Structure 1
Amino acid sequence: MASHMCCVVPPYLLDALCECSDPELREMAASTLAFGQTIQDERHEFSQGGFTDTATDHHDDDTPGPAQGIVPDYLLESIGGSGEDPELQKADRAAADAEGLSEAGMVASQSGFFREVYDMEHSAADTQLPGKPRRAEGDGPHSDPAVNEVYDNALKVLLFYQKYFNLTSVDNNNMKIVSSVHYGSRVTNAWWHHNQMKYGDGIPGKLGHYTNALDVIGHEITHGVTQFHSQIKYNGESGALNEHISDVFGIMVKQIADNTTADKADWLLGETCFMPDIKGVGLRNMLHPGTAWTRAKVTVMEGDDVQPDHYSKIAGILKNDPDGVKRDHGGVHYFSGIPNRAFALSATRFGGFSYEKAGKIWWTAVTAKEGSNPPTYRIPSTCTFAQFADVTVEVAKELFPNSGADQVVRTAWNDVGVQVKAH
């Protein structure tokens, strides 16, 4: 099984911060970009194509996948200004108790999982991973808050997968969940890589705090789930779907922890990562892509955040920012907003909690196999948005027959410009 490296801060966000007026942010963004590129070069996994899938299937060998994080380069390149948004005061959101993810549930289920948290002490040398041990399964709290945040939030994500999708750890075989905090110096990102997670510290008061962002940890652990339960490649449209899948399950964990139904949720991913010194409400807005943060300099398309909310806008981004798309493995972070909106629209129209219908449909679509000798995934390795949409509509009809669920999903995809074939 090949390892996979995906980061929560996308390249376009980092690019954006490199052009901001804050010298500290510029330095941090530039160092994170350079660091990420170095990792990519070392892994020989950077795709040379545009918005087409030319990368090697990450199941083919043991070569680590691309070095992509949750904060986009384009945001890191040009976000500027200041101003405090009320949404940013929800810093303790990730610690909320909710049914199924309560402290009592955590204690009761603790023996079924294996977590270890290490401290890299600001080293970015992968040869030193995972770092110095700080807390292992069953240990009491550590003096370092970051250690405890990762330890507790990882369990909430594991409980989420166990309770709602009958999955025991990312491999469904009690795989140990290893996390390394304080990764690198002035690195503002979080990664899933080499079957473990790595967390940089960012800059206090500006951008960071990934260890206490439950949806970020859900996003990264889901990259592990995708690694073990899907063959989807990390490039172009299939790569954007890979990022989308992590966003979907990361946001579901957050909504459950908040006890928030789909229609009442804010659909913001990584909202606690943006602190008062940066204008923005989160890393991504899944319901309204392109509205999560403010750019000081608009370089790609109208608006602030550059994520498109409709398939028709892809061509303009490919034309106006080909280098950014290429660096982002064919737009895996840019274009994930399109399927994100389709999911959010489906979930809000279904009503109730997002995991109840939309989540079950997406989970089945991603993990289901068909045929025999050997069975194959319903989602191909080079899956396009249209192919993925087709499968979700098929699955909706199978899971919820004679309910109109398939039409809800079909309409959501049509609303973002992805046409679903007749079934």
Structure 2
Amino acid sequence: MHKKGCSKSVCQCFIVPNYILENMALNDVEAARVSLAKSRQMRRRRIFKEYDIKGVTALTDAGSGRHGESARHVYDCKGGTKLRVNEARKEGDRSSGDHVVNQAYDYSGVVRDYFKEVLHRNSMDNEGLDLILNVHYGNKFTNAYWDGDEMVFGDGDGIIFSNFADSLDVIGHELTHGVTQFTSGLEYEGQSGALNEHLSDVFGVTIKQYHLKQTAADADWLIGADIMGPTLKGQALRSMKAPGTAFDNKLMGKDLQPDHMRNFYKGERDNHGVHINSGIPNKAFYLVSMEIGTDKAALIWFDAMQNLFATANFNQFVQVVIKAAQKLADGGTVPHTAIKTIEDAFKAVGLPE
């Protein structure tokens, strides 16, 4: 079902923060300058997009899936900026001759199936919402984003960033923004916005580990390592294991993420630090996963995700996560030791304050 989102305020959530693109633009990376201008233009137009809160409205009659089943639709922008123009592959179609189209199709299926089979959630809205993915967006567009309806992926410049649809954790991250939109609706600013980004990072890495059959100890805990071009291979956008260490180079600058509340970013950049301060709860999730396993930690975080409210801050998030752990432990889903593990992990990053 192609359907319209039903949250009053919908963020336009980009995987690459503006402060990275700004640094690249200052270093004469033309693709970053163009992408930054395009991102700002889109943010002005859609950052808080209004939807009809009274009900769900059909956008199109896809006809590719039965009622209640989430179908994938991959569109090829062919270097342009119009969305949903050239459908390159839809649910059930044979493989395309375009590797990027196939990656977007396959990886979105992995994410959809994880939410359905492991977390028992039927797509982003739990009602079988179709997954709309637009690839080859713009000319060397160096970003990917969720806009409240659909996902958009640039090809990168091939030097600093490669294709953004070529990363399972990036697609998992962006799709999780959709799940957040239909659950807690976390506002995309300050601490609630950092939690929004945090949850997307959590399920981006969790789904990657699940797909690769990795343990917490085996995983690299990086977001965006697969989209780094040949110039910056070995670096990433974020590290959940060691926030603040994902990148350090002239083009991107220095990773600004803190791993403790003592270094909490209080400035106005990045919507008051949504991509920056997410490093603090990210580190806590990593610590919990190392003790009880990423699979168990993700079950707790997903339960908490559904019980948050739009303006939740870090302290409130801690309490919701602990309550989720208590509930799941009482039901035998996670060990009772998870509660103390979570308390210790948040204490290690300075929470609650």
TM class, shorter-length: 0.7 to 0.9
1:154-201 per-residue CA deviation (whole Å, 9 max, x = no partner) reads 100011111110011111111111111111112111111141111111
- Asked if 1:243 corresponds to 2:200, the answer is no
- Residue 54 of structure 2 corresponds to residue 116 of structure 1: no
Partner of 1:348: 290
SS at match of 1:410: helix
1:177 aligns with 2:134: no
Shift of residue 112, structure 1, vs aligned partner: 4.7
Match of 2:20 in 1: 13
> What SS does structure 2 have at the residue aligned with 1:254?
helix
Determine if contact 1:268/1:286 at 8 Å carries over to the other structure. yes
Q: Which structure 2 residues correspond to residues 8-407 of structure 1 after superposition, within 5 A?
A: 8-20=15-27, 23=28, 26-43=29-46, 45=48, 112-124=69-81, 128-278=82-232, 280-296=234-250, 304-314=254-264, 317-318=265-266, 322=267, 325-326=268-269, 328-350=270-292, 352=293, 354-355=294-295, 357-368=296-307, 379-401=308-330, 403-407=336-340
Kept in 1: contact 2:12–2:43 (CA 8 A): no
Whether contact under 8 Å (1:190, 1:198) holds in the other structure is yes
Deviation, structure 1 residue 15: 2.2
Deviation at 1:205, TM superposition (A): 3.6
2:169–2:205 Cα contact (<8 Å) kept: yes
What do residues 218-269 of structure 1 show as CA deviations (whole Å, max 9, x unaligned)?
A: 0011111111112311111000000100000010110011111112211011
Residue identity over aligned pairs, in percent, reads 37
Q: Which amino acid aligns with 2:78?
A: E
Is the CA contact (8 Å cut-off) linking 2:78 and 2:137 kept in structure 1?
Answer: yes
Report the alpha carbon displacement of residue 275 of structure 1 after superposing the two structures with TM: 2.3
Instruction: Report if aligned partners of 1:58, 1:231 keep a CA contact under 8 Å in 2.
Output: no
Q: Measure, in 2, the Cα distance between the counterparts of 1:407 and 1:253.
A: 25
Match of 1:82 in 2: none
AA aligned to 1:34 is A
CA contact (8 A) 2:314 2:352 kept: no
The answer for the alignment partner of 1:66 in structure 2 is: none
For the residues of structure 1 that align with 2:200 and 2:86, how far apart are their CA atoms? Answer: 28
Q: CA deviation at 1:403?
A: 2.1
Bigger relative contact order (CA 8 A; separation at least 6): 1
The superposition leaves residues 250-302 of structure 1 with CA deviations (integer Å, 9 ceiling, x where unpaired) of 10110011111112211011111112212652111011000001132898xxx
- Give the SS at the match of 2:336: coil
Q: What is the identity, as a one-letter code, of the residue corresponding to 2:74?
A: V
Matched letter for residue 404 of structure 1: T
Give the TM-score normalised by structure 2: 0.87
Going from structure 1 to structure 2, the CA distance change for 1:57 and 1:392 (only over 3 Å counts) comes to farther
Aligned length: 330
